[in-house]
Structure 1
Amino acid sequence: MALIRPAGPGDLDQVEEIYAHYVTTSVATFELEPPGPDDWRERHANITTGGLPFLVAEDGGEVLGYAYCSPWRTRPAYRHTVENTVYLAPSATGRGLGRALLEELLAECARTGVREVIAVIADSGDPASVRLHERCGFTPAGRLSRVGRKHGRWLDTLLYQRSLA
């Protein structure tokens, strides 16, 4: 089983590669162009210096997946609410790594004082992300219809929420 640990700067090239796959081949993310190395360094720094977790699942030096939380909104009243992100290398799916990453992410969030975690899931027709979040205690909180357009498709997002309080 992979080791789940805090992500360091040395992991970001592999994180970038995993995410680029989903940006270019799927509707799991609404980004249209993969972020580059500078973008990932800034994202990692903003998350970790903000006191939020950024984790990787690693096996023998290979990053198999990652998970992090970022602020849900910038207004101060939202300071105890975050949005989670979980991605796995295509070769690492179906092994329970997504669940292990998300469970550890939730535990780390609880330790930092986060009360609510929001998952924004593209309604692509693939139930894997919904199943993952439901298995980790998330419940449906809403649907936003036709809010994204990618690969010639209008897409809905599903909102799921998990209370840590």
Structure 2
Amino acid sequence: MTSIHIRPAQPSDLPAITAVYRDAVLHGTATYEIEPPDIAEMTRRFHIITSDGFPYCVAEINGVVAGYAYASYFRTRPAYWWSVEDSIYIAPEAKGKGIGKALLQRLIIDCTALGFRQFIAVIGDGHDASASVRLHTSCGFKHSGIIKGSGFKHGRWLDTVLMQLDMNGGTETLPNTAPLKG
């Protein structure tokens, strides 16, 4: 059994995070970026996300970063402030070991504690057999839509699947204050 350790990401993790994302950009379809960002851009993105107070974590196996995940606003307009979106990327050699589920479960706990009401997954190249759709389903997310042919990468059209998880009562009650804004 592989022992997975989830912890908050640190700036010192950015070279490993950049390498994991580089592989996802170059070889995968989960992200629609075509050119992998360099470490300076990944550092800029990391500081924006963490300075806003969102969770950003890494998964380690034997002290080596094997994946990372973060939450950020689904959209930035004020009416969306109660909705959060996740991003999860796993190193190629670490896929299939439960790292994605451990990271997503941590994000759900952290975002629930922050007071968010809706967790949105925007899944590139989404289809029922995709690892990301299966992962989100296993954590309680429900399908909420599909955007056909929304991306073109690696010579083919890709669909985007939207999935969603209610947190903190979802839409059943009115919020007191906006998470991270109140």
Relative to the length of structure 2, the TM-score reads 0.87
Letter in 2 for 1:108: D
Partner of 1:132: 135
State how 1:65-80 maps to structure 2 within 5 Å: 65-80=67-82
State how 1:15-164 maps to structure 2 within 5 Å: 15-123=17-125, 126-164=129-167
Aligned pair count?
165
Letter in 2 for 1:150: K
CA shift, 1:124, in A, is: 5.5
Letter in 1 for 2:38: G
State which drifts further: 59-68 or 136-145: 59-68
Check whether the contact 1:51–1:112 (CA below 8 A) recurs between aligned residues.
Answer: no
Identify unmatched segments of 5+ residues in structure 2.
169-182
Partner Cα separation in structure 1 for residue 30 and residue 156 of structure 2 = 12
Identify unmatched segments of 5+ residues in structure 1.
none
Letter in 2 for 1:141: S
CA shift, 1:26, in A, is: 1.7
Check whether the contact 2:74–2:80 (CA below 8 A) recurs between aligned residues.
Answer: yes
Check whether the contact 1:12–1:40 (CA below 8 A) recurs between aligned residues.
Answer: yes
CA shift, 1:59, in A, is: 2.7
Identity of aligned residues (%): 47
Partner Cα separation in structure 2 for residue 73 and residue 7 of structure 1 = 23
Larger Rg: 2
